[in-house]
Amino acid sequence: MKSLLDQDSYVPHFSGHETFPLRQMWLKKAFEARSVAASVPKARFNEDAAIARFGVGKNMVASIRHWALACGVFDEVPDEKDTFRIDPLWGSILEPHGLDPYCEKTATTWLAHWRLCGLPNGKHRSTTWWWIFNNMLAPSFTREDVVSQLMDYCTFRGIKVSEATIKRDVEACVRCYVSKDEASVEDVVESMFVELSILKEEARGTFGFTRGPNISLPNGILDLAIYEYWNFMQAESTLSFDLLAHGLGSPGRVFKIDESSLAERLASISERTSGYVFWSDTAGVRQLQRRDINTSIDRKTYQRFLEAAYE
């Protein structure tokens, strides 16, 4: 099965984070740089006052900008050269009276993880993150394994990138999810994704995924991811369980949910979607079905999923 990384239009990204993992309040800091409700001036990250505004060093300011773009808090719009456009869903989370204005809730962390590693509208500024959570299928792997695969991918695509750049990217990704015994207290606390416990160091330099029910993942975030993934897969009327559980960029693979736990959650999806989507398990064929394939999923539906996730 092809993925967005196979598309000729896709341009891989292996830098921008300045080697800093995403920290707890950085998405909020980026959001607060807005000048009006729906946009952030690009100059806010380059002006002399940026260090004082964000309360971090120059390289960290650049990292904050990168992570906000990578997680989809805001995006570049072709006809708006001087500003970033804030995503309305993230706005409903991060605004002063939003669902999670201080990025304290696990739902926010899971959503950011999905934005980095799943299929959010076919846009990715986090190639290594996508690759690790979708293409590393062996029971365990090393940093060197990931670097080797990514170098082969770039060679195949005719993309020039140094091995040192990819090594730094792989290290930054691992540090996002795995705390080190020798890490400072600050690094452990502020690495946003460590709390998800889905990537672990099994032995020194060897890593593996923790696959299970992941009960901290709210159904609202799972449902949002299912809708986005389904729409990316060309909006068929049915979506097979195998594809949902194991497909490239699928919620099952990205969230590392085991099959039985995913099936259990899907059994009640009809209630959560007011009957629009329902679970079918007939004659051994497990799949999701949509009542009306011609009905588009509007912003209100996604908003409803978010609100359910933060209840």
Flag whether 144 is in a domain: yes
Separation between Cα atoms, residue 116 and residue 87, nearest integer Å: 15
Q: Are 236 and 303 members of one domain?
A: yes
pTM (two decimals): 0.92
Backbone phi, psi, residue 111, to 5°: -65, -45
Averaged over 265-275, what is the pLDDT? Answer: 92
Q: Using an 8 Å Cβ cutoff, are 131 and 146 in contact?
A: yes
Q: Are 133 and 74 members of one domain?
A: no
pLDDT tens-digit readout, 177-213: 998 665 554 444 468 999 999 999 998 899 999 999 9
pLDDT tens-digit readout, 203-233: 889 999 999 999 999 999 999 999 889 888 7
Among 9, 131, 135, 26, residue whose Cα is nearest residue 73 = 26
Q: Are 304 and 223 members of one domain?
A: yes
Q: How many domains does the chain have?
A: 3
pLDDT tens-digit readout, 73-103: 998 888 888 999 999 999 999 999 999 999 9
- Domain extent at residue 39: 25-103
Which CB contacts under 8 angstroms, 24+ apart, belong to 131-136?
131/5, 132/170, 132/173, 132/199, 133/209, 133/253, 133/254, 133/256, 134/3, 134/248, 134/249, 134/253, 134/254, 135/248, 136/209
Say how many CA atoms lie within 13 Å of 40 toward its Cβ.
27
pLDDT tens-digit readout, 14-33: 989 999 999 989 999 999 99
Q: Is 250 exposed, middle or buried (0-12, 13-18, 19+ CB in 10 A)?
A: buried
Flag whether 109 is in a domain: no
